[in-house]
Homo-oligomer: A and B are copies of this chain.
Amino acid sequence: MEEVNDRDKAVFEAGIKLGALYHQFIGTPVSKDTADSLERTIEESIILQPYVRSISVSIDREMVAKKQNPKFGYCELEGRMLNVSLQVRYKSMIAYAELAYEEENDYPMMSVKKIEEM
């Protein structure tokens, strides 16, 4: 057993943020016209949470266009539509994480990309 260190904490917090974002906003009605403002609102809400250094959210417009119900003109935000890049800083450690659609597994994959000491 090893002590929990700052690197662990940075990485753990990055995981929390992606899990939270995903399950908070999935299901939100969205269209090509509202994707922009939904992206900003997701960013603004997650950056409020502890240790978030920066976040960039992008919603796949092509997927939205394809999924928009022809009769009703909108769809629901799905995990696979989301591209998120996140930096979390805990003390001197920075974890870079992302959420990106993995086509081969048809899965919205969350991963740590790198970890840096400032």
Contacts and interface: CB of A to CB of B under 8 A. Distances in A.
Per DSSP, are chain A's interface residues mostly helix, strand or loop, or mixed? mixed
A68 to B, nearest CB: 10
Nearest to A8: B11
A81 interface: no
A1 B34 contact: no
B26 A26 contact: yes
Number of copies: 4
A40 interface: yes
A30 interface: yes
Interface string A19-39: 111111011111100100110
Contacts of A23: 19-24, 27
A110 interface: yes
Contact of A12 (B31, B76, B107, B112): B112
